[in-house]
Amino acid sequence: MGEFLRSRRARIRPEDVGFASGSGPRRVPGLRREEVAHLAGVSVDYYVRLEQGRNRGVSDAVLGAVADALRLDADEREHLVRLARPDRTSGAPGDRSARPGVRQLLDWIAAPALAVGHRLDVLAWNRPACALITDFAALPRAERNMARLHLLNDEIGNRYPDRDFIAQEAVGHLRIAAGRHPRDAELHWLIAELTEKSPEFRHHWERHAVRTKSFGHKRLLHPEAGPLTLAYELTHFPHDPDLSLLVYTAAPDTPEAEALRVMAKA
């Protein structure tokens, strides 16, 4: 929590919130602790205790005031609350399989589609997804992970020219997952591996990037279809919020649409 708060006050210029930038030497960029405390309407000692992780009993009002002072967006606010009040009673979720109904749903979708867990593990897939990305069934279970495939598997990762942006998305997702599941040892092992082996991931992880992404575009150089720019949509299952449905699509009458049509028949 302390690292997250420090990273957020470091990105705010003092002059943007009414403080003189030249009021004494600054050892670090951004706001001082006392300036955040002033903006949030709390004592400096109380805010310092928050950055030290001594946040037991912190109220919603104080968390909201600190979030306002640090100009946190909706994802960052939720992350702050989860860091301040981690669930230390529940065990780590299994996240190792998708129920039969989800697998049947994927089989009925003509576009490339995946069921993805909170660690970005690929738990189920359809044939077009294999044609687009890789034969997931041929991979060891531990390697069926979108972050690992994009950032640690050069054969697949090098197909994506926006690899750094993909790393940023992975960091944002896994930061939120870590806040929701602080006791998930497998998640922490994954983050440690990515931090050690992927410079792109390490860069964004150290910046405490927090972001959810439910739609967007990905560019890739497919070994058979050539360069593609595909849209994607990510949605959650209401009764299983840690399970997501990821579907890749393309606009009608485009080379991408034709490529997906061919993959659907693969």
For 138-149, the pLDDT digits (tens) are: 999 989 999 999
Do residues 211 and 77 make contact, with C-beta atoms less than 8 angstroms apart?
no
Q: Output the pLDDT for position 23.
A: 55
Q: Measuring CA to CA, which residue among 231, 121, 227 is closest to residue 174?
A: 121
Right CATH number for 2-84 from 3.20.20.70, 1.10.579.10, 1.10.260.40, 1.10.730.10?
1.10.260.40
Where along the chain do the CATH 1.10.260.40 domains lie? 2-84
Q: Output the pLDDT for position 73.
A: 86
Q: What is the pTM of this model?
A: 0.76
Q: How many CA atoms lie within 13 A of 243 on its CB side?
A: 19
CB atoms within 10 A of CB 103: 15
Name the phi and psi angles at 70, rounded to 5. Answer: -95, 5
Q: CA-CA distances (angstroms) from residue 247 to 110, 116, 215?
A: 10, 11, 10
Q: Output the pLDDT for position 25.
A: 65
Return the CATH number of the domain spanning residue range 100-264.
3.30.450.180
Q: Output the pLDDT for position 266.
A: 74
Tell me the DSSP string of 198-236.
-HHHHHHHHTT-----SEEEEEEEETTTEEEEEEEEEEE
Where along the chain do the CATH 3.30.450.180 domains lie? 100-264
Q: Which positions of the chain have pLDDT values less than 50?
A: 89, 91
Tell me the DSSP string of 96-121.
----HHHHHHHHH-SS-EEEE-TT-B
Q: Measuring CA to CA, which residue among 90, 132, 111 is closest to residue 249?
A: 111
The torsion angle over the Cα atoms of residues 93, 165, 102 and 82, rounded to 10 degrees, is 30
Q: Output the pLDDT for position 180.
A: 84
Q: Output the pLDDT for position 95.
A: 57
